[in-house]
Chains A and B, each alone.
Chain A
Amino acid sequence: MSLLKKSRIYSPWLYHLHCGGCNGCDIEILAALSPRFDVERFGIQLVTSPRHADILLITGPMTKQILPMAKRVYEQVPEPKVVVAIGSCACGGGIFYDQENYAIIGIPNSVIPIDVYVPGCPPKPEAIINGIIQGILKLSKKS
């Protein structure tokens, strides 16, 4: 494995994007970073600018209000990048999904290409860490 590929696996930086929803998944993401689970031991860090990120974490059902901003944030993450959808809402609309719903798109894959799905309402921090690691493995294969 080349040094660059290794480095991609060893230092993934996350950017957390909240696209509506109840905040449950966001609290679980923070739990994954807190002392009990502490993903920094694997070099994973939460960054605050999408331009520094490798992995985009999306939570919540994609609302129509946030759609242009979400697209823009996705475009600002430099290549190679991976998108991880966290929670039932981000995976497919969750309990908010209804075809006649005027406010929610429901399936974010039609807007942003999602690489890894982590279902659950909210998913446990262990599941989130597993999702991130699946994302890292996909990231290392991208050129």
Chain B
Amino acid sequence: MIELLLIIFISFFLGLFYSFLIRKFSARLQWRIGPLIFMYKDLRSIMGITRIIQPLYDIIKLFGKRTIIPESSRKRLFIYSPYISLIFAFTSIFFIPFSSIPLLSNIPYSIVIVSYLLIGSLLFMIIGPIASGSPWAFIGVRREAELFLVAEFSFIISLFSMAISKNSLIIWEISTKEFNLINITAGLLMFTSILGKLHIKPFDMSEAEAEIVAGPYTEYSGKLLGIYYLTKIFLIYDFIALFISIFTPINTLPIYLSIPLFLIISIFIIFILSIIHVLNPRYRIKNALIWYIKIISILCLINIIAMVI
């Protein structure tokens, strides 16, 4: 019971830390400084001591701003879908094991529950902007929906190929079985889907800043935008924790080893994601779909061969 309460804070602060790290790594790779870890001494009285929780400041500030609801929107859907999206993302943290602590991941069919919750969260991130009635949001949402379909395909295939090869639908059982070739091939498939789901650079065409204003979130402001940012914080944690717990043998280790290892691996994954984010241009949606179909079909073939072996 205490773990379930603790994981709320752990996931929240890890999510904040990961999104800070993405900003920091991207800035350093672009020869910028990014949010400061230690503020300059003479500015500390005005600008604070550290900016490690910069994403939290962004969210709190958004909560303190006035929320504008456009006349042309479908108001109920527009207002409630950020909250529903947040609930889905928030609930899924309980079903993903955190470094040797099973939480609720040892209940039957937990892999199905997690995949439903994560899909549901992303779905309401699409439905809310549709209700906003903005043409920019429509363009962004159309791209998001197309990307969602292909990224979801690789997500589901990688999860269930693991389930079939380990002969279980319980995340905790899958994660504690022995490490073999399928972990690597299915892990690669999952990594490609994470790129699309977290909008890492070649696949950020749905948010395409400046090109289509702010994409799906163009009409969102104040509290509702803050809720979407909060959802993203939880989603970053969800995907990274799911990736680490299913595809690495970390849950078989004792807890005092697995927590530092979890942190090291997650920071390494964030570093790789940041490198990909910085080095790539933005794909058009057509290019992204072709890339996904090519890569997924090759990886699926390798995955099937690995499953047979």
B68 and A76: CB pair below 8 A? yes
A-contacting 9-mer, from B73-81, B214-222, B230-238, B277-285: B214-222
Please name all residues of chain B whose beta carbon is closer than 8 Å to the beta carbon of A79 when the two chains form the complex.
65-66
Question: Do A78 and B221 form a contact, CB below 8 Å, given A4-B61, A43-B51, A49-B213?
Answer: yes
Per-position binary interface string of chain A over residues 2-25, scored 1 when its CB falls under 8 Å from any chain B CB and 0 otherwise:
011011111100000000000000
Please count how many residues in chain A sit with their CB below 8 Å of the partner chain's CB atoms: 27
Closest-CB distance, A3 to chain B (whole angstroms): 6
A-contacting 9-mer, from B52-60, B117-125, B295-303: B52-60
B68 and A8: CB pair below 8 A? no
**Chain A interface secondary structure, helix, strand, loop or mixed?**
helix
Interface residues on B, range: 35 or more
A54 at interface (Cβ–Cβ under 8 A)? yes
Please name all residues of chain A whose beta carbon is closer than 8 Å to the beta carbon of B222 when the two chains form the complex.
78
Please name all residues of chain A whose beta carbon is closer than 8 Å to the beta carbon of B35 when the two chains form the complex.
40-41, 43
Closest B residue to A45 by beta carbon equals: B58
Besides the contacts A7-B57, A51-B219, what 12 more A-B pairs have beta carbons closer than 8 Å? A6-B57, A8-B61, A9-B47, A10-B48, A10-B57, A11-B61, A38-B27, A40-B33, A51-B221, A52-B214, A52-B217, A78-B222
- Footprint of B on A, CB under 8 Å? 3-4, 6-11, 34-35, 38, 40-43, 47-49, 51-52, 54, 76, 78-80, 133, 137
A sample of 30 cross-chain residue pairs with beta-carbon separation below 8 angstroms, ordered by A number, consists of A4-B61, A7-B57, A7-B64, A8-B61, A8-B64, A9-B46, A9-B47, A11-B57, A34-B32, A38-B32, A38-B33, A40-B27, A40-B33, A41-B32, A41-B35, A41-B51, A43-B51, A43-B54, A43-B58, A49-B217, A51-B214, A51-B220, A51-B221, A51-B225, A52-B217, A52-B225, A78-B65, A78-B67, A78-B222, A80-B66
